[in-house]
Amino acid sequence: MSVNKPLPHDAAKLHVSGSARYIDDLPVPDDCLHLCFGTSTIARGSIQEMDLTTVRNSDGVIDILQASDLVHANDVSPSIHDEPLLSDGTIHYLGQPIFLVIAKSHIQARKAASRVKISYQQDSPILSIEDALAANSRFEEGPRIWNRGDLKRGFEQATKIAEGSIEIGGQEHFYLEGQAALALPQEDDEMVVHSSTQHPTEVQHKVAEALGVQFHNVRVEVRRMGGGFGGKESQGNALAMACAIAAHRTNKPCKMRYDRDDDMLITGKRHDFRITYRAGVDQHNKIIALDVVHYARCGWAQDLSLPVADRAMLHADNAYFLPNVRIESHRLKTNTQSATAFRGFGGPQGVLGMERIMDHLAHDLNTDSIAFRDVNYYRPAVAAEHDTTHYHMPVQDFNLQDMTTKLLADCDFENRKQAIERWNADNHIMKRGIAFSPVKFGISFTLSHLNQAGALVHVYSDGSIRINHGGTEMGQGLFQKTAQVAAEEFGVSINAIKITATDTAKVPNTSATAASSGSDLNGMAIKIACENVKTRMAELLAAQYNKSPDDVAFIKNEVHIGRRVLSFGDAAKACYEQRVSLSATGFYKTPDLEWDRIRGVGKPFYYFAYGAAVSEVVIDTLTGEYRILRADILHDAGNSLNPAIDIGQVEGGYVQGAGWLTTEELVWDDHGRLRTHTPSTYKIPAMSDRPREFNVNLWDRGNLKPTIYCSKAVGEPPFMLGISAWLAISDAISNCGPAYPNLDAPATPERVLKAVERVQNGL
């Protein structure tokens, strides 16, 4: 009765009235202090001298902390402890926090921090992929290399070979709510931290380490984030730790939020990649050999770069069977912000690389690009030898053949393509393009032990229900989905369910809300917790009325015990009076995972989610400007828990993905200074950038795997549907001449014009 309904976001009423609270909106005591980092103005070197006098004398300043003032751990890293909260004297990137100002107001802290005088010993920064390769500056001892098949023989059999390279820019998360944290000191060395984080447990751990206390002394609460997108998986650690340290030191509440420019200068972004490739096809247009090299610019600290680069390798096939393949991945260490998680987590770069290869091959073969894709799709039903990925995992649920057919028919692809060809013949300045792209995305954390979740469900004696789980709400609608699961389980209306802030004191040892796993893991944990309570209720009620627990049913706000009917509230009251526990935890772990990331062999994913998109664009060959005219999407959310929320994820993911590949350009100068650190210079899509015609449908088939109500994860996969917009731009450019456009990303008007000129000049 509740699951599958297109209910609005649980906080929609609060959002539209401005009463939904984010960290900076929480009422705080008047003595709350405010923090700001002083940051480096060079990209690499060491601090020679730092004069903090004017900072200290600045209005409202209470204290200043440097690395030497930190009593316990000086490390914000989520991985290998290589990321000091405050610089130890060495500077690794421009924007690195060096000292922490504690002041009476946010603006006073910012003003004070800006008044520092620092002299540096400057070293030449390692900024580009070339710099890093030349200096052998990298994470891990060398590149990761995965092989399958016989590449040499593959190339020997190839009748056509394409070679090329693509630059893929990074991406700023631009969550509308910047990073923020608030720490409230408690008695007996306890600390309560409100953090805008996707990973409260990690914040708990990092804060405990910073304070030198056990985990149980720290309680982290997250009601909601104003957007996360991966940017709050590890990047909030610094603020939460700074607040906790300052709160401990001053015994006052301490709050920190980054000004937008600081946020963009300090925090990590999506990894930019260069992907080079050599690909061969046989006489049937089947890819017979593929040699790919990924170069990922990881920034200065390891953070989550290894699993990000792994996931790029895991998605280097996208949806295509690769019998003979070699993938080499370099994780390069540069003096730039430490690149971090961002929706797709490396997957988009891997998928884009493969779609570029498909586009390039189809162009050189002068063949229909969709038929070419179709012939190379996985074909589990047809041939067993055509159904395993390059990491030897069988693809059993592949449905892109059917989805492609349906999407192309629904959007009238063939007729439109012909109409576009006619239009292009009549127009010499403007050119249209249309393109299709599919996505296959692996669902599960590739670090297998993270695939677990806990939940806590209370039924009160009036029949109202309060639920809690380890997942965090960042706008994706997780809370509403899990509330729908609880309502479904208890057979009550959604109003009976109250979902509460994520809290490390309620559900411990949680994983980050990441990898699209939120509803799969937490939905299942909630379901199990509900079942535990229901089982106890059913046993009691069955005993009371001389029935079997199997005769007890929870439907329509009632509990049916054979022919007896109680309201859910009365049933809860009866259970309470008979001393039945109406509170339970639930725990879920994803089955059937095994993964060896060094060899690149195993089953890292529980299942795959699929999607397909067609985009149509027009470009101006005088300026390189373009518009997305129309997008049609068919996306596989399994048996959708909430189609409205899932369609919202698809629409938003597409536009964010298209933004990554079009207007969103990160520019660093030769000194390693990020020049695009404001929304005036870094351009995420605006209202009029959405496709003018935008048709999104869900592929209505349940997951073959027993996930929560056979739904599928939907957070990340649709992001990659934006690739179709980039391919459509490339298609439009290719109408200007016979050469392949070799378009890089993001396809800014400047890059489009350059590609147009190349194609026009036959280069």
Question: Which residues from 206-235 bind other proteins, rule CB under 8 A?
Answer: 224-229
Please report, for residues 131, 133, 259, 448, 561, the alpha-carbon distance to residue 533 in angstroms, rounded to integers and kept in the order given: 59, 58, 46, 29, 16
CB of 323 vs other proteins, minimal distance in Å: 37
| Residues 77 and 338: beta-carbon distance below 8 Å | no
Nearer to other proteins, 457 or 514 (CB): 514
Task: Report the alpha-carbon angle 728-389-352, nearest 5.
Answer: 25
Does residue 655 interact with other proteins by CB under 8 A? yes
Q: Where are the alpha helices (DSSP H) in 150-289?
A: 151-157, 200-211, 237-250, 260-266
Does residue 12 interact with other proteins by CB under 8 A? yes
CB of 620 vs other proteins, minimal distance in Å: 5
In angstroms, how far is the first alpha carbon of the chain from the final one? 61
Task: Tell me the number of residues near other proteins by CB under 8 A.
Answer: 95
Does residue 498 interact with other proteins by CB under 8 A? no
Q: Tell me which residues in 459-478 interact with other proteins (CB under 8 A).
A: 474-477
Nearer to other proteins, 231 or 454 (CB): 231
Does residue 663 interact with other proteins by CB under 8 A? yes
Does residue 60 interact with other proteins by CB under 8 A? no
Nearer to other proteins, 470 or 475 (CB): 475
Site string for other proteins, 98-137 (x = CB under 8 A): -------x-x--xx--x-----------------------
Task: Report the alpha-carbon angle 527-533-537, nearest 5.
Answer: 135
| Residues 510 and 201: beta-carbon distance below 8 Å | yes
CB of 75 vs other proteins, minimal distance in Å: 29
Q: Tell me which residues in 622-641 interact with other proteins (CB under 8 A).
A: 622-627, 629-630
**Other CB atoms within 10 A of residue 269 CB:** 26
Q: Tell me which residues in 27-46 interact with other proteins (CB under 8 A).
A: 27
Nearer to other proteins, 627 or 701 (CB): 627
Nearer to other proteins, 293 or 696 (CB): 696
Catalytic annotation on 716? yes
Pick the piece of the chain touching other proteins (CB under 8 A) from 167-175, 375-383, 401-409, 481-489.
Answer: 167-175
CB of 197 vs other proteins, minimal distance in Å: 14
Which of 233, 488, 616, 731 contacts other proteins by CB under 8 A? 616
Pick the piece of the chain touching other proteins (CB under 8 A) from 95-103, 126-134, 175-183, 365-373.
Answer: 175-183
> Could you give the CA distance from residue 118 to residue 727 in angstroms, rounded to a whole number?
47
Beta strand ranges found along 412-547 (DSSP E): 430-443, 452-459, 465-469, 497-499, 502-503
Beta strand ranges found along 404-489 (DSSP E): 430-443, 452-459, 465-469
Nearer to other proteins, 499 or 530 (CB): 499
Q: Tell me which residues in 667-726 interact with other proteins (CB under 8 A).
A: 667, 675-676, 678-681, 683-690, 692-694, 696
Q: How far is CA 50 from the centre of its chain?
A: 38
Catalytic residue among 177, 202, 233, 716: 716
Beta strand ranges found along 470-569 (DSSP E): 497-499, 502-503, 552-555, 558-561, 564-567
Nearer to other proteins, 30 or 385 (CB): 30
| Residues 540 and 534: beta-carbon distance below 8 Å | no
One-letter identity of residue 446 = T
Q: Tell me which residues in 373-432 interact with other proteins (CB under 8 A).
A: 416, 429-430, 432
Q: Tell me which residues in 237-276 interact with other proteins (CB under 8 A).
A: 259-261
Which of 1, 4, 15, 120 contacts other proteins by CB under 8 A? 15
CB of 680 vs other proteins, minimal distance in Å: 5
Length of the chain: 763
Please name which of 183, 199, 208 lies closest in space to residue 509, comparing C-alpha atoms.
199
Buried b (16+ CB within 10 A) or exposed e, 712-733: bbbbbbbbbbbbbbbbbbbbbb
CB of 540 vs other proteins, minimal distance in Å: 39
CB of 575 vs other proteins, minimal distance in Å: 34
> Could you give the CA distance from residue 279 to residue 297 in angstroms, rounded to a whole number?
24
Please name which of 14, 15, 7 lies closest in space to residue 644, comparing C-alpha atoms.
7
CB of 652 vs other proteins, minimal distance in Å: 4
The residues annotated with a catalytic role in the active site are 716
